[in-house]
Structure 1
Amino acid sequence: MRKECYTKSILELWNFNKEDIESLTKDDIIRAINSYDKNTMYGKLKSIDDLLGEVIRNESGYIVGAKALQNFWFLSLNFSAVDMDKTGNYAGTADWASEEVLDWENAFLQVMENVSKTLNNTYYYSGKSFGDISNAAMFQDMDLLCIGIVIMVIYVQLVISKFNWLEARVVLGSVGMLTIGMAFIVGAGLCSLFGVHYGPVHTSLPFLLMGLGVDDMFVILSCWDELTEEEKNLPLPEKIGLMLKHAGVSITITSFTDVIAFLIGSSTILPCLKSFCIYAAAGVLMTFVFAVTFFVACFVLDLRRVESKRNGIFPWIVHENYVPNECSQKRISNKTFEYVYSNIILTTPGKIIVVLITVVCVGFGIESTLKLEQRFKTEWLIPAGSHLAEFLKVKNFYYPEKGFDAGFYMGALDYSHELNNIRDAASRLENMSDVTANVVSWVEPFRDFVLYNFKHDVFEEPLDDVRFHLFLSKFLNSPRYAKFQANFIFDGDLECGAPTPRIKMSIIDFHFHRFENPRDQIPAMHRVRDLAENANFTTGDKFATTWSKFFATWITDELIDIEVMRNLQLALLCVMLCTILLIADWQICFWIFICVLVTMVNVCGFMQRWGLTIDVVSCIGLELAIGLCVDYATHVGHTFLTVHTGSRQDRAVKTMSSIGCAVLFGGLSTFIGVFMMSQSSVYTFQSFFKIFCLVILFGLFHGLVFLPVILSWIGPKPYRVHKPVPQSEMEIS
């Protein structure tokens, strides 16, 4: 019996004869569909029920039409010959395939693309479609990243430049953006050097680093502007030292906390989340390193340019007697903050309103967080408009009952003596009517084959080893049952006329139902796995299990709830410990912790209201959220401790007038960085945009509004200041 490619199509009813097919009428097709012999054509076309979609029947149950038709082509693959270095895909999401298989699939996709252009309502996909499309989705929105960078550059110029020829810091702003690019490249390079894989969601990292890097830049420049007149008269190296005395500590605290939080997140058992957290930690660390070294060095060069009165846009132009206009020297944003906080927010009515808003939002956030669902579908990662997205949409509509293929796997048993146990396991699998369907077992057909041809009931009396392997060979090489060859893996080649080699593994195919509630998938998976574990095999290696390629997604769904809570708790604990060590004030650390905690509660709650669920993408987003929101409160809390004069109210106002602008502008820069994600059709970018928006909104509110109100009431005393030793005492000493 010759071997041929395995296909599944109603064209097999006419043996793929082109002339016969072209002469068919609609009545001929309907008659053949209703009267075909399921045992013909080598038994391959067992049933056409799963090939027809939205079947139309008359009163007697006779098929008279269908709205959809699907065909299958199955490819043969030698897994031991697969070289993932050659055939793997950059996204790491492709099925294993050989070069020959990929060549066939590429040709198939090209043919179907041309067919779909001329034949309407034609949809298609191949095994490599998901990998290719998810890989392309990583880079399809690079134009949005470029647009976001341009917008960010313009925004940075508007914030850091003063509107005069000398203090227009065009070059410095560009260097700041270059610093972020350098940090991403070096961080990603280091991770790749150590073998950490780069996944589809990692493309969002530049957006995150833009927000964090620009925030560090604004803090450095804000602390420069806060130098007193006496300090500004000191030599340049001393002025830079005084600037970094506060700015360096502030960004060190936030960066170190972010890095530790991400490293804690990398301890997860989910590979994608682990990889992303490692890349994020490396990126944030390198952003900090380049900010306090490369950017500060470039800032010094820019200051020397200002001192030499060189033009901020065209440095080769020197303005000898240029005097900056008076308007450009006004610190409007700082004065605006001072006015708003002293006259509105930090008044008694303002404080009461702020606390009430905070309490209401927290209550609403807790209520919504309790409703947050864990749900994820792989097709969410497929961009709309792709051939796979269109195929899945139509398939789910016309074939709503089509479930998930799976297999019941058995190892090197003594099959002759275990046939009854295998039959019982297959029977129990069939009886799980709420879980499985279409159980295709080779055991009953093998028993019928032996009983009919050799008058021996293998269920009543086991065969000896020699006859079992001989009868099994005849069974698998018979026209009707040759289809079961794919259900065995032998320790050698199967030859017609010779006993089969030792069985290394055998498979019973079945399907899961399509579950209306994704949460029903996990119990179904555990039930069939428990069935395999309790199969009661007594011979051989006794190995038995069930497996489906969908289990990877289901197990992730099962663990994601636990992983989210674990990572958030560890990250919050990390924030608390890091701020205690670096800020060295219990009360400030406590209020920073409260701000971060309340922000995360609100983010989770409003996520639910915005239609997001708990999945791998949102888990990564929440991990990043802690790193973002801790910055806002930490900058404010640390600055409050460095203000030494006045009451708590005065110190709170002074804190916000000095650092508030930098924190607000940093938050806005993060929003600008992620805003372009909203224009993407990729689910990952859409989810990150929503989460980051909530983080920025609530993080800024709690850091810039709620925390100053609390500090104006019960804030701690400032750091102790050591008075300088008088000159005479120094000389005596």
Structure 2
Amino acid sequence: MKHRSINRCRLDRYHRLLRSVFARYGMFVARQPLPFVIIPTLVAALLAMGMIRLHEETSREYLFTPTNGRAKDERNVEARLFFMNDTQEFDGLRLPNFGRFVHLIIIPKMPSLKTVIQEDVMTEIIRLADFVKNYSSPLPYQQVCAVKEGQCVHDSLLQLIYSNRSRYLQRNFTFPVTESDTGDFLFLGNNLGGLEYEYHTPNDIVSAAAAKIEFWLRDTKDSKKWEEEVLDHLKNFDSDIIDFKPSTSQAIDTEMAALTKDAIPLVSISFTLLITFVVVSLLMLDWVRTKPMIGQLGVLSPGLAVAATIGFLSAIGVDFCNVVASMPFLIMGIGVDDMFIIIEAYRHTKPEDTVETRMNHTFVEAAVSITITSITDFLGFAIGAITFFPSVQLFCIYTSVAVIFDYILQITLFAAFMAYDARREDANRHAVTMQVVLPKSESDTKSRTYRICCSGGVKKDGKIVAEQEEHLAVKVIGQFYGPFLVKKPVKVAIMVVFAIYIAVSVYGCTRVKEGLELKNLARDDSDTHIYFDRQNEFFVEYGLQVMFMKTEPVDYWDETVQSDIDSAITDLINTKYVGAASPRKVTWWLHDFLDFMKKTQGQRAASVDKNMAMNILHIFLKHPFYKQYQLDIQFNNDETSIKATRFFIQTNNLTDANLERGMMTTFRDIAERHGLVAYHPAFIFYDQYTAVLPNTLQNIGIALITMLIVAILIIPHPLCAFIIVLAILSIDLGVIGIMQFWDVNLDSISMINIILCIGFSVDFCAHITYAFMVSKFNTRDERAVDALCQLGYPIMQGAVSTTLGVLPLAFSNTYIFRSFFKTLFLVISLGFLHGMVVLPVVMSLIGPTEKTKPVVDSSGTRVEISGPNFDLTYANKIGSAEELEDRRV
């Protein structure tokens, strides 16, 4: 035999080893398919039983904030230095977290009532507040409410109303800070929204479109239960005058738990759509070679993989969460895609060969291809699990395990189904009735009904008696689409359009919006979502009151220390995040203490010694107007010096995520320069704004390097591996850029989908590239067309099936599921276009060519595949001169 003149890369050894292993494996499954049906099914069923231990995590803080978030350390500092007893000295401003609460946003229901500041509306608000406070299950409100000075804490609006109702109804107060009848200064900025003012007296309100009342609770189990049950109680409140929407400290967590239940009917719809599409796409007029039944069985493998994954991970203690509920849609799409690859590879085998030989050839081509994509899918999700967002970690853990289970079931369970189906086809049995039938060419004497509904195949009495026809879609690709795509003018046009696509994607990336809004964790039609909409509409003028802590002892009576802190306060006030937010922008005990000392002692703090200043400070903190500051000063054990203190800055007009992030980072920078620590409970969620982009870029970078290594090891040419990585990068760029035009932010949800980009990009790109490399043809154009002929149709089937699999999510009333659909749709669309359009053109321009001998027919005449007259069926029947020589030997 002649020496083969094939110039292969040394790395081809891994590729050839895989082909050799799967060739033997395919033949083994063909001989003994039964164990490959029974064992994988039983194992998957046993693993699925672990779902009885499933635990769903619903904490929004745990799932959607970075585990290494800076604000969590800042909260620990606050909790260590400043303790507050919610049964004695509660103050909502000084909470280390969001606390336990029930909040109600109220608007007038009747069109004629345009303001809450009128007697009818305020009377209803008072009735609503009493309705809440009178609820007594499981305990009376007085036993679960947060307490200050022996009384349940009221927010500023309720405190003002209860102190002097007639004065309020006459609008005889200032805004946003007013003085109550008891002499307390009350901040109303968080209680009244949508305001209009008198032009000559800006602090006097003409109207307010909305009001918010707040009920603060103790942090106990009884309070938690009361909070849960009072929502049902509120459904019994009926009013023709006001409309209200509630929110509680557990509302988002409750909504997140409901999302998983909402996903169950969507999975059913997805499964139905997939089954329908698989059956239709595998139908042929040939009733022996058609494969609707095997297609239905093919959907079983990813379904079992999903069940086994959830059961296995639940059994070993891995939490489930609502984001993971999107995983079945994805795995069903991946599994069906693999099934199409296997079926198409089988269709390209020769019917005259034995079942063992056909399964050998099927697995040589298909199993290697799906092995590459399964490995890269698994690694892509495994890499995604190193992120600092637990929701992303859990999704990636579940999905990576499901990818492996699906792969195992595809090459065992579905391979066995294929072996049985191959035996049926070899016996020329009908795909539905299983009866032996005649080929169409041999059924002329039969009835018309028989010829249409029963005939098919190419064998009669075990002998080939007819030609095997290719699927219509494959013919169209081979004879029309492929040759058209490799024409020079078409290539130029595609490259121009591709350059425009890259430019638009880059522009979109510059407009990326980061962060996940809390309302997007709730269903669109839920009270919680509407509450947050009203919050954003009416209550953005006055934002957070951010805490600044001095955590080390300093001499506060020293004018240098005072000057440094005042300088920090001035820097903070002069930012765009404070401005003219309120007449009382700063809540700082030292300012009031210095005024108190001047008024009561007639001297400045710097002119007295430390002991006298400390004595006056204790007197100051016992004054009724200044008791609140007791929570802002941490003394040493004998109360002779100050260990730590804090003050608060009122922000305003934080209308979007960019402003929230900018405020947090700016305040932190200013605080660091002056030896302070900036903190607010909302910072724990704002930390996602600073973490999501670095985490996304990190995952993409690591994944691209990993994909490159895997591709180089398995695909027999380094250039192909680099082309695949560049294609993945192009798809990622397009998804991130285009999703900005579709109202999808870069957050922990879309981060998951960007990780998906890598897996799906490999699926689309690796199949075509691999087919290009193993093609028997000579020129780049010929190999590109051959790759499209071999795998173009299953790629189309995979793209459509995956889209149908996730299509039900598009109609979900939840941002999480809709965002998943949007980004996955972009991934599939861009991946499909890269695999079916861009990559074939690129490979036809710069792809590697093997120095193989030309494809010839039996007479030794070279066969051309370019041009409209290319016949794929004919090309499949012949081989290269090299193959013919091998056969002769």
Indicate whether the TM-score tops 0.5: yes
Do residues 38 (structure 1) and 170 (structure 2) align? no
Q: Which of the residues 299, 313, 319 maps onto 2:435?
A: 319
Does the Cα contact within 8 Å between 1:533 and 1:545 map onto a contact in 2?
yes
Change (3 A) 1:355 1:327: farther
Do residues 258 (structure 1) and 377 (structure 2) align? yes
Q: In 2, distance between residues paired with 1:208 and 1:270?
A: 20
Q: In 2, distance between residues paired with 1:2 and 1:604?
A: 54
Does the Cα contact within 8 Å between 2:271 and 2:805 map onto a contact in 1?
yes
Change (3 A) 1:583 1:7: same
| 1:288-321 CA distance string (max 9 Å, x none) | 12211222123334444556777755xxx65255
What pairs with 1:388-537 in structure 2 (closer than 5 Å)?
388-411=528-551, 413=553, 421=561, 424-425=564-565, 428-429=568-569, 431-433=571-573, 434=575, 435-436=577-578, 438-446=585-593, 460-464=607-611, 468=614, 476=621, 478-487=623-632, 506-516=645-655, 518-535=657-674
| 1:86-117 CA distance string (max 9 Å, x none) | xxxxxxxxxxxx42232232233233343377
What pairs with 1:107-146 in structure 2 (closer than 5 Å)?
107-115=229-237, 119-146=241-268
Q: In 1, distance between residues paired with 2:325 and 2:640?
A: 50
Do residues 201 (structure 1) and 340 (structure 2) align? no
Does the Cα contact within 8 Å between 1:420 and 1:459 map onto a contact in 2?
no
Q: In 2, distance between residues paired with 1:173 and 1:532?
A: 63
Do residues 717 (structure 1) and 849 (structure 2) align? yes
Does the Cα contact within 8 Å between 1:157 and 1:170 map onto a contact in 2?
yes
1:227 Cα deviation from its structure 2 partner: 1.0
Change (3 A) 1:58 1:588: closer
1:630 Cα deviation from its structure 2 partner: 1.8
- Which residue matches 2:752? 620
| 1:328-380 CA distance string (max 9 Å, x none) | 97421211211223552233443333333333333443344444444653334
**Greater shift after overlay, 479-488 or 124-133?**
479-488
What pairs with 1:48-127 in structure 2 (closer than 5 Å)?
48-58=188-198, 60-61=200-201, 62-77=204-219, 98-115=220-237, 119-127=241-249
Q: Which of the residues 811, 815, 825 maps onto 1:679?
A: 811
- Which residue matches 1:337? 477
- Which residue matches 1:6? 153
**Greater shift after overlay, 629-638 or 354-363?**
354-363
Change (3 A) 1:422 1:621: farther
> Aligned AA for 2:233?
V
Change (3 A) 1:698 1:528: closer
**Greater shift after overlay, 218-227 or 179-188?**
179-188
Does the Cα contact within 8 Å between 2:154 and 2:214 map onto a contact in 1?
yes
Secondary structure of the corresponding residue to residue 154 of structure 2: strand
- Which residue matches 1:635? 767
Q: In 2, distance between residues paired with 1:64 and 1:352?
A: 66
| 1:410-454 CA distance string (max 9 Å, x none) | 447478778984785266325522234532223334455667678
Q: In 1, distance between residues paired with 2:851 and 2:416?
A: 29
Do residues 229 (structure 1) and 351 (structure 2) align? yes
Taking structure 2 as the reference length, the TM-score comes to: 0.68
What pairs with 1:263-412 in structure 2 (closer than 5 Å)?
263-304=382-423, 312=431, 319-321=435-437, 324-326=454-456, 330=469, 331-374=471-514, 376-411=516-551
1:215 Cα deviation from its structure 2 partner: 0.8
- Which residue matches 2:702? 570
Q: In 1, distance between residues paired with 2:197 and 2:844?
A: 76
**Greater shift after overlay, 716-725 or 423-432?**
716-725
Does the Cα contact within 8 Å between 1:403 and 1:514 map onto a contact in 2?
yes
| 1:42-82 CA distance string (max 9 Å, x none) | 83x523354322344445424444332222222233xxxxx
Does the Cα contact within 8 Å between 1:42 and 1:479 map onto a contact in 2?
no
Does the Cα contact within 8 Å between 2:176 and 2:189 map onto a contact in 1?
no
Secondary structure of the corresponding residue to residue 125 of structure 1: strand
Q: In 1, distance between residues paired with 2:829 and 2:888?
A: 54
> Aligned AA for 1:519?
N
**Greater shift after overlay, 49-58 or 153-162?**
49-58
Does the Cα contact within 8 Å between 1:447 and 1:459 map onto a contact in 2?
no
What pairs with 1:584-733 in structure 2 (closer than 5 Å)?
584-645=716-777, 647-718=779-850
What pairs with 1:109-188 in structure 2 (closer than 5 Å)?
109-115=231-237, 119-162=241-284, 169=291, 171-188=293-310
Q: In 1, distance between residues paired with 2:680 and 2:779?
A: 66
Q: In 1, distance between residues paired with 2:596 and 2:831?
A: 71
Q: How many residue pairs were aligned?
A: 681
Q: In 1, distance between residues paired with 2:187 and 2:729?
A: 57
> Aligned AA for 1:571?
A
**Greater shift after overlay, 198-207 or 367-376?**
367-376
Change (3 A) 1:109 1:415: farther
Does the Cα contact within 8 Å between 1:13 and 1:36 map onto a contact in 2?
no
- Which residue matches 2:56? none
Secondary structure of the corresponding residue to residue 123 of structure 1: strand
Q: In 2, distance between residues paired with 1:240 and 1:491?
A: 81
Q: In 1, distance between residues paired with 2:511 and 2:187?
A: 43
Q: In 1, distance between residues paired with 2:475 and 2:481?
A: 10
1:609 Cα deviation from its structure 2 partner: 3.4
Q: In 2, distance between residues paired with 1:426 and 1:191?
A: 55
Q: In 1, distance between residues paired with 2:733 and 2:429?
A: 50
**Greater shift after overlay, 521-530 or 120-129?**
521-530
Secondary structure of the corresponding residue to residue 849 of structure 2: coil
Does the Cα contact within 8 Å between 1:425 and 1:532 map onto a contact in 2?
no
**Greater shift after overlay, 368-377 or 290-299?**
368-377
1:580 Cα deviation from its structure 2 partner: 0.8
- Which residue matches 2:41? none
Does the Cα contact within 8 Å between 2:724 and 2:762 map onto a contact in 1?
yes
Q: Which of the residues 325, 332, 336 maps onto 1:214?
A: 336
Does the Cα contact within 8 Å between 2:430 and 2:437 map onto a contact in 1?
no
Does the Cα contact within 8 Å between 1:13 and 1:32 map onto a contact in 2?
no
Taking structure 1 as the reference length, the TM-score comes to: 0.81
> Aligned AA for 2:485?
I
Q: In 2, distance between residues paired with 1:488 and 1:74?
A: 23
1:622 Cα deviation from its structure 2 partner: 1.8
Change (3 A) 1:478 1:225: same
Identity %: 23
